[in-house]
Amino acid sequence: MNENAAVNSDELEAFRVLLECNLNDHLENSFDNLAKIFKRVVEVMPGMKYHRVVVGDRLVVDTHSGKAGDIVNRSAYCFIDGRDGSIYKCAGWKAPAKGIRGNIRNGGPENWWSGALGPYGAAHMVRVRHAKLKAAQEDVYNKAYEAAQAGGMNNTDSNELAMEQACRRCGW
């Protein structure tokens, strides 16, 4: 699939369904009593350039907020660039914030959930940068460790040397 091709409706629907499942799993695992009152509902609202992803709560039982089946507490969750599938944090209801947080075409929900998205919306840039920095540090560490092992060093010395190089190169 072309990374630069426009996002089609099938990709958006797959994203919507997977995101809805993850949000409801989080609700059931973290807030068991709330999961008995409502379920999370995800809607993708198409736009000229960005698709707005809206999350709401569908009531399961009648409450003071409404009748069963009503959708309440709608809010913008994130924005998706219709040109390439980039995920943006919300600056508000109508516009995305600057800076790409991830892409719906990179991996699946396990990648979105650990980096670009969380239960409350798109990640802050610090979290995205930290994940990239940690991955770079692990890569440097692994290469240094393998080089030290190939040079005949024992495990303890290899580990210390690799950790020192990883910290120095990644600024930790």
Average pLDDT for consecutive 10-residue bins of the chain (172 residues)?
75 89 87 84 93 91 78 90 91 91 76 72 66 67 74 67 59 50
CA–CA distance, 100 with 80 (Å, rounded to integer):
10
Can you give the pLDDT at residue 52?
96
Can you give the pLDDT at residue 45?
94
Can you give the pLDDT at residue 97?
92
Can you give the pLDDT at residue 138?
72
Can you give the pLDDT at residue 137?
66
Can you give the pLDDT at residue 77?
93
Distance (Å) of CA 134 to CA 15, 70, 90, 138, 164? 26, 43, 25, 6, 15
Q: What is the dihedral of CA 19, 123, 128, 108, to 10 degrees?
A: 0
pTM above 0.95, yes or no: no
